[in-house]
Every structure is written in C-alpha cells, then in structure tokens.
C-alpha cells in the first residue's frame, strides 16, 4: 500500500498573500512590505483584523497563484505516494466550489477522490502532512512538515520546509 | 480524548431514496415499490442507469429528508463522542454547498469544524465509522457499522444497523 501525504492548500500550494496585500492596500492605501507582515498574519497588524473577512468572498480562492514548483513536485511525488489535498475549507462556505475548481485547474493529475475539505484535521490519517499551521501538525499521527508562512516563523517543533524544492529534497531521502 | 465517530450522510442521515424514486417515476411513469429496488440501487434497474445523473443536479442534496431519529440520536452521541460528518461529496461538485447548508439546517449543534467532504475515505482516522458502503468500511481502521441500504442487503462482513434506534442501542453498550 502506498504511503499517503496530506497536503494543505492555502500557503502551501496556493499563495493567499498577494490577495491579502491587495485587500490591505485597497483599505489603507499602502502596499505592505515583507518586513511589515513577516512573523505574523496580515490581519494581525493593528487595525487590520477585519481584512480577514475577504476569505468569505465568493471568488477569493478561485484565482490564487500557484506556489512555485508545487505542480512539478506534486507530480513527481504522485508517482510514489497517494497525495490528498486536505484543506480547512469549512469555515468558508463560499470557498468550496472555488477550491474545487482551482484544484481541477492546477492539479488535473490528482483525482477528485483525493480532495478533502474539512475543518478539524485530527480526523485525517496519513503518513505525512505538509501544512503551515502548527495546530494541524500537533494533532497529526504521522510525520509533519511545517511549510514556512509569515505567521509560523517562530515555530521550532517541526521539520521546516521553506519551498517546494526543499519538499522534493526531503522526500528524496525518504522510503516511499 | 473523546472517541471519534465518522458518520456518512447519504442513506445514513439523509434519505436519497424518495428523490431517486421521483426521478424514476418522471422518466418511466411508474412509482417503484420496495420489492422493485430492494437488494440493488435504483439505477441498477435495467434501462435506468442514467437516473444516477440526478446526483449532479444543483439542489439535489439540499432538500433530502432527514432519516428518522437521526437528529435525536446524533445529539445524544455528541455528548460523549466527537461526531464528524464524513461524506463522499467530491464526485458531485454541485453537492458541496447543498450538503453544507443541509447540515447547518438539520444538525446545527455540530460545528462546521466537524464536516468532512472527501472522496476516498481511506484518509479518515476515527474510532467508529457508520456508512452504507462496504468499500468504505473495508479500508477503515476502527470499528465499522454498516447502515442498511437497498444496495447492501447481501453484505455480511460488518455489524449491521437498520435504523437510528439500533445505533443508539449499539453505543449504549460501548465505552465512550
């Protein structure tokens, strides 16, 4: 039986940051620089907490940029592992169809059978989990990889991967 | 830590049969009787295979009747277990919002954090699974309960439950 990889979407294969920066700029008239938000979430900047509401907008998740090298590396891993896209979509009803369509567009070689839209990820059983949220890795029974995002830079409890080339490198050293 | 129950939707808490019978009647001008479909699926009746396509219709899953006693018993089990609704929604893009809204309507005491829309249920980790499909129970690592449906009447490999009162009875004898 092939080993399973539970792969998060937002901030792992889908880049939400540009649209958050857009939302902030529309509201406050300023394009944030990396040093403005690195180490936290954009909506943790004082006065910007309501920016998070854009996540509820129909269409928000439909046109997110794909993370560099993710399609290529997921394609390679798909040869040896069962890849499941496991995303905490359920807080955002309007994201469901958008995320579905986005996955079909950008990862057409992964079947809809491997899409998982959930809330609490403690329900997942896999061998690996790649996620930007330490809270998801904490409850996970397999090997967790923390994908670097602005909000998790201080976390030291998990194996960190900074980009998809590092994920390729990590799995090159694993036994499928 | 509370034990988890992975609870299927269609033919377990949501009754799809009346709308299949409607679809058959509209097409063939005949209301099927229980003996016409018991032991198989409605769309396994010769000539009726295309009836399954109604599952793709927007709205199909939105107004399904709730299985008798399921709200009450899920409410009771929710006191002692973590209940996750785990449904193979992903084949049907148009079912996603419908199933979401249906759950909020009929099981408002279960958080969206406990909704799981997936395809291949082998990704799930729970202590119990209640499902009408033997293929889902087969890959499950916990205790599987087969909820009786017309298409599974010949299956003998799993503990069978015929209705929600039997589910209540089963869990009354378990240690939460």
Residues A44 and A74 in one domain: no
Neighbour count for residue A174 (Cβ, 10 Å):
12
Distances (CA, A) of B124 to B5, B107, B128, B161: 10, 21, 10, 21
Tell me what percent of chain A is helix, strand and coil, each rounded to the nearest 5.
40, 15, 45
Give residues with Cβ within 8 angstroms of B66, minimum separation 6: B13, B14, B15, B106
pLDDT in tens, chain B (176 residues): 899 999 999 999 999 999 999 999 999 999 999 999 999 999 999 999 999 999 999 999 999 999 999 999 999 999 999 999 999 999 999 999 999 999 999 999 999 999 999 999 999 999 999 999 999 999 999 999 999 999 999 999 999 999 999 999 999 999 99
CATH of the domain at A131: 3.40.50.1000
Contact B90 A113 (CB under 8 A): yes
pTM, to two decimals: 0.97
Which residue has 């990590």 as its token pair? Answer: A170
> pLDDT per residue over A128-153, tens digit each?
999 999 999 999 999 999 999 999 99
Distance from CA of A147 to the nearest CA of B (A): 21
Å between B4 CA and nearest CA of chain A: 8
Find the angle CA(B155)-CA(B160)-CA(B161) to the nearest 5 degrees: 135
For residue A89, list chain B residues with Cβ-Cβ distance below 8 A. Answer: 117
pLDDT tens digit string along A96-114?
999 999 999 999 999 999 9
Quick one: pLDDT at residue A32?
96
Residue B99: strand, helix, or coil: helix
Number of structural domains in chain A: 2
Shared domain for B98 and B25, answered yes or no, is: no
Residues 46-105 of A with CB under 8 A from B: 84, 86, 89-91, 93, 96-97, 100-101
Smallest CA–CA distance from A82 into chain B, residue: B123
d(CA A55, CA A53): 5
Residue B156 to residue A96: CA distance in whole angstroms: 36
Query: How many Cα atoms within 13 Å fall on the side-chain side of residue B12?
Result: 24
To the nearest whole Å, the CA of B73 is away from the closest chain A CA by 21
φ, ψ of residue B101 in degrees (nearest 5): -65, -40
Q: Both A99 and A24 in a single domain?
A: no
Q: Are residues A164 and A103 in the same domain?
A: yes
Q: Are residues B84 and B136 in the same domain?
A: yes
The answer on B95 and B25 residing in a single domain is no
Both A83 and A166 in one domain: the answer is yes
The residue annotated as part of the active site, out of B10, B98, B131, B132, is B10
Please tell me whether residues B91 and B160 are part of one structural domain: yes
- Copy the structure tokens of residue B53: 């396509």
Do B11 and B79 reside in the same domain of the chain? yes
**A125 chain-B contacts, CB cut-off 8 A:** 122-125, 141
- The verdict on a CB contact (< 8 Å) between B119 and A124 is no
Start-to-end CA span in chain A (Å): 10
The DSSP H or E segment spanning B80 is none
- Calpha distance A73→A164 (Å, rounded): 7
Same domain, B98 and B140: yes
Cβ neighbours of B91 in A, within 8 Å: 112-113
* Judgement on whether residues A67 and A51 belong to the same structural domain of the protein: no
Query: In which domain, by residue range, is B21 found?
Result: 17-56
Pair (B35, B119) in one structural domain: no
């Amino acid at each position: 039986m092939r080993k399973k990889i539970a792969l998060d979407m937002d901030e792992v294969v889908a880049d939400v940051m540009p649209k958050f920066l857009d939302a902030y700029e529309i509201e406050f008239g300023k394009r944030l620089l990396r040093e403005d938000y690195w180490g936290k979430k954009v909506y943790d900047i004082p006065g910007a907490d309501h920016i998070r509401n854009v996540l509820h907008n129909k269409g928000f998740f439909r046109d997110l940029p794909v993370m560099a090298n993710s399609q290529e590396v997921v394609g390679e891993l798909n040869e040896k592992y069962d890849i499941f896209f496991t995303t905490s979509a359920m807080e955002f009803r309007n994201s469901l169809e958008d995320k579905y369509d986005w996955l079909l567009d950008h990862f057409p070689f992964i079947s809809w059978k491997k899409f998982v839209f959930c809330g609490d990820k403690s329900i997942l059983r896999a061998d690996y989990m790649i996620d930007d949220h330490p809270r998801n890795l904490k409850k996970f029974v397999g090997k967790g990889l923390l994908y670097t995002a602005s909000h998790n830079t201080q976390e030291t409890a998990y194996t960190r991967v900074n980009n998809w080339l590092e994920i390729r490198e990590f799995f090159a050293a694993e036994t499928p």
